[in-house]
Structure 1
C-alpha cells in the first residue's frame, strides 16, 4: 500500500491533503484529533531538521577534495546578490503600494530584538559560537552551520573510514527526513484543518492588502529579478529552469514552510539535473540559512508598512540602509517557519519605532503567516536550487563546455532517457 501511495506525485498528495483539511475544518471543526496530525508533522520536522543540516554540511565538507569543481564562489555571490536585490524590490513595492496596518494592542510576542547594526553583528557572532549541542536542540542554524564547517574541516584529517561513517550517518538522517516528508499530506491536512476550524477562511482577510504586497513582491522577484540574474550568468532563456525549480522545490516548501526540511527535495532535484554532487551537497544546505531573499522582502515590507501607518517619512538613504541591514540580518534568519519575523523589530528601530509597536507588527506577521511564510519559504527554497544550477552552468560555460538549460530540465522531467550525470552539460540533440 505504501508503494502505491508513493507512486502518486507528492505535489498531488499535498493538494489532496489541503482540500480534505479545508473541508473537514468547515464541516467538523470540533474534531481536535485531526489537528494532532499537523502537530505531529511539525514536531517531526523541527526535530529532524537541525540534525540533518548538521550532518549534511559536516559530511560534505569532510569529503571535499582540493581543486574539485564545486562552484562555491559563484553560488555564494548569487545568494548574497539575490538577498540584497530582494530587499531593494521590497522597498520599491512599499513606495508604490503603501500599506496601512491595524495594530492590535493584543498582539504580544515574547522576546526582545536587537536595536542597532552593531548589536545585530554582535548577536550573529555570539550565536555562531554557541554550544553545538544546544544549537541542535534550539535549532540555531547559524551555530549549526559554524560548527558543522569546523568539525567537517577537522574530519578531513581523519581516516577515510571515519569520513565514510560520517557520510553514511548523513545519508541515514536524510533518509529519515525524506520519510517524514512522504507523510506531509497527512500533516498538511491537520495544519489546514486547525487553521480553518479556528479562524475560518476570513482569518487573514483583514490584512489582505499587506498579503498582496508581500506575495506580489515575492512573485516579481522570483519571476523577474531572479530570471534576470540567471540570464546574466548564462545568456540563455532562464524560464524553463525557473518554472521547474518552482514546481519541484517551491510547491513542497510552500506547504512544509521550512527551507531546512526541504533540503532533501532540493538534493534530489539537483541530482535529477545532473549537477555536481560535490557542489550541491554544500550549496543546498548552506542556502537553507544563507539564501533568504523571501525573508528580506518580509522584513522590508512590514517595516515600511509600520512606517506608513505611523506617518514616518522614509528618506532614500535610510531606505538604502534598511536594504543592506535586512539583507545582512536575513542571512541569519532561522530555517524554520516564522524565523524572519523576529528580525522586524531590529529593522523598525532604524526609524525610531518602539519595540512595543514593532512587536505588534510581528504579531500581524504571525496572523498572516499561513500565506506569507509559505510563499517566503517557497521563494527561498526554490532559489537555492535555481542558483546552485545556475552557478554550475555559468562556471561550465566559462570553461567552454556546452550547456543547454532547456534540455537539462527536459531530462530532469524524465522526458529524455539520457543518464542524469550527463544531462546538465550536454547540448540538445
Structure 2
C-alpha cells in the first residue's frame, strides 16, 4: 500500500523555481492589498538575505581549502579561461553601454540631494583597496564578507594542506559536505524570503517614483538584456560550439531571479554553487570561480557606471569623441571590479568616471543620488546579470551546456 507524502516533504522536494514564482506573486498581491501588513513581514526577506550572507563566507573558505587540499596531481581545472571570460564580458558590457548611450542619449534633471557616501578618489584608490583586501585578516574577511581575502586564505590553506595526511584531507572534505548541506537547507527557504522582499519593496516604493526616469531605465535595462541574451550566448557559443540558450536561460531563471530580489552577489554565492553542482561542473573549478566572480565579474556594474556617466555628460553638454568613449569603457570595466558588494555599490564609482570629462564632484554626486532613486530596479537587474553570468561562464569554460536532469 502506497502512502501520500507529507505536506512538508512535498514542499521540500517540489520545484524551487515554481515556489519562488508563487512567492513573488503573493508578495505583490499582499503589498497591493495591505501595504502595512507587507511592511510588517519585511523581516522574512531580511532574515533570508542575512542567512545567505552568514553562510556564504564560511562555505567559500571551507570549499576552496578542501578542493585544493584534495586535488589530485595533474588534474586540470578551468579557472584561467573563466577569468578571461570575466574580463571579456565586463569590457563588452561597458562597450555596449557606450553604444546604447549614444544611440539613445538621455539627460537628467539634477535637483536631487547629494548622496552622503564618499566615492573613491581615483582608479589608484580602487586598485589599492582590492590589493589590501587580499591581505586582510582571515577572521575579519569572514566577518565582513571580503571574498577576495577569503579566497586568498582558502587557497593558501588548501596549498598548505596539499601534503597533509589523508585523514586531515578527509576531515576537510566532510566539513565541506556538512556546510553544503546547511546551504541547501537555507536555499529551500528562498520562496519565503523572496515573498518578504517583494512585499516590502512594492509596499515601500511601488513604481510611481520611477516614471520620471523611464528612458534612463530603458537604456540601462536594455543594455543588460542585450548582454544577457545576445553577448553572453555568443561568448558561450564561441567557447563551446553548442547552442548556448538552454544554459543561459537556466542560469537566468535559477540564479538571476534569486539575485534580482536579494540584490547581493555575495548573498547569491550559495545559490550559484548549488547550481554548479547540479550542472556537474568540476568542484575545484566552480569553488573558486563563483566567489571570485561575485567580486570581479561585474558586467551589470560596468553598464550602470557607463550609462549614468554618459547621462551626466549629455546633461552638461560635454562633447565626447571615440577615444574618450573607449577610455571610459576601460575605466568602467576596471572600476566595476572594485565595486562594493553591497546594494548600490557601483553607484559610488560614477564620480570617478565623471572625472574623465571634467564634471565636478557636486554634479556627479547628484547623478549618484538619481541612481539610488532608480536603484530598486537598476540594482536588482544589475545583480541578476552579474550573478547569473558567473555560472554561465563557469559552465562554458568547462564545456558544459547540457541541462541537469530533473
Q: TM-score, normalised by structure 2?
A: 0.90
Aligned partner of 1:422 in structure 2 is none
1:20 aligned residue: 26
Aligned to 1:169: 175
- Per the alignment, residue 103 of structure 1 pairs with 110
Q: Sort the Cα spacing of 1:365 and 1:115 in 2 relative to 1 into closer, same or farther, 3 A.
A: same
2:100 matched to which residue of 1?
93
Asked if the contact 1:109–1:362 (Cα under 8 Å) also holds between the matched residues in 2, the reply is no
- Whether 1:223 aligns to 2:223 is no
2:292 corresponds to 1:286: yes
* Structure 2: distance between partners of 1:413 and 1:102: 51
* SS of equivalent to 1:200: coil
- Contact kept, 8 Å, 2:27 with 2:196, in 1: the verdict is yes
Aligned to 1:340: 346
1:70 alignment counterpart? 77
Take 1:176 and 1:357, find their aligned partners in 2: how far apart are those partners? Answer: 47
Aligned partners of 2:358, 2:165: CA distance in 1, in Å?
55
User: Which deviates more from structure 2 when the two are superposed, residues 9-18 or residues 82-91?
Assistant: 9-18
The more displaced of 13-22 and 338-347 is 338-347
1:84 equivalenced with 2:91 (yes/no): yes
The offset of 1:78, in angstroms, is: 1.0
Q: Give the 3 Å change call, closer, same or farther, for CA 195–13 of structure 1 in structure 2.
A: same
Once the two structures are overlaid, the 10-residue window that deviates more, 146-155 or 222-231, is 146-155
SS in 2 for 1:251: helix
| Alpha-carbon contact 2:53-2:266 (below 8 Å) kept | no
Structure 2 residue 301 is matched with structure 1 residue 295 = yes
Distance in 2 separating the partners of 1:71 and 1:354: 43
List alignment gaps of at least 5 residues for structure 2.
Answer: 1-6
Q: Check whether the contact 1:141–1:335 (CA below 8 A) recurs between aligned residues.
A: no
Give 1:174-189 correspondences, 5 Å limit: 174-189=180-195
Which of 222, 235, 243 is 2:241 aligned to?
235
3-state SS of paired residue (1:340): helix
Cα distance between partner residues in 2 of 1:297 and 1:167: 39
Alignment-derived partner of residue 251 in structure 1: 257
> Match of 1:60?
67
- Taking the aligned partners of 2:264 and 2:258, their CA distance within structure 1 comes to 10
Partner Cα distance (2:301, 2:252) in 1: 17
**Equivalent-residue separation in structure 1 for 2:329 and 2:219 (angstroms):** 17
Q: Deviations over 1:257-277 (max 9, x none)?
A: 232333333333333333323
Task: State the alpha-carbon separation in 1 of the partners of residues 139 and 215 from structure 2.
Answer: 42
The answer to whether residue 162 in structure 2 is matched with residue 156 in structure 1 is: yes
Aligned counterpart for 1:46 among listed residues 53, 56, 77: 53
Partners of 1:329 and 1:62 in 2: how far apart?
33
Q: Which moved more, 1:206-215 or 1:239-248?
A: 239-248
Alignment counterpart, residue 358 of structure 2, candidates 336, 341, 352: 352
Query: Distance in 2 between the 1:61 and 1:325 partners?
Result: 33
1:306 aligns with 2:312: yes
C-alpha displacement of 1:220: 0.5
CA distance in 1, matches of 2:362, 2:58: 35
- In the alignment, is the contact (CA less than 8 A) between 1:140 and 1:334 conserved in 2? no
User: For residues 188 and 103 of structure 1, do their structure 2 counterparts lie closer, same or farther at Cα, with a shift above 3 Å needed?
Assistant: farther
TM-score computed with the length of structure 1 as normaliser: 0.85
Looking at structure 2, the residues matched to 93 and 182 of structure 1 have their Cα atoms a distance apart, in angstroms, of 39
Distance (Å, rounded) in 1 between the aligned partners of 2:276 and 2:108: 41
Match of 2:44 in 1: 37
Distance 1:347 1:154, change over 3 A: farther
Secondary structure of 1:203 counterpart: helix
Taking the aligned partners of 2:307 and 2:34, their CA distance within structure 1 comes to 37
Please tell me whether residue 317 in structure 1 is matched to residue 317 in structure 2. no
Distance 1:196 1:231, change over 3 A: closer
Q: Could you say which residue in structure 2 is the equivalent of 1:205?
A: 211
2:123 to 107, 117, 134: 117
- Cross-structure match for 1:400: none
CA contact (8 A) 1:38 1:186 kept: yes
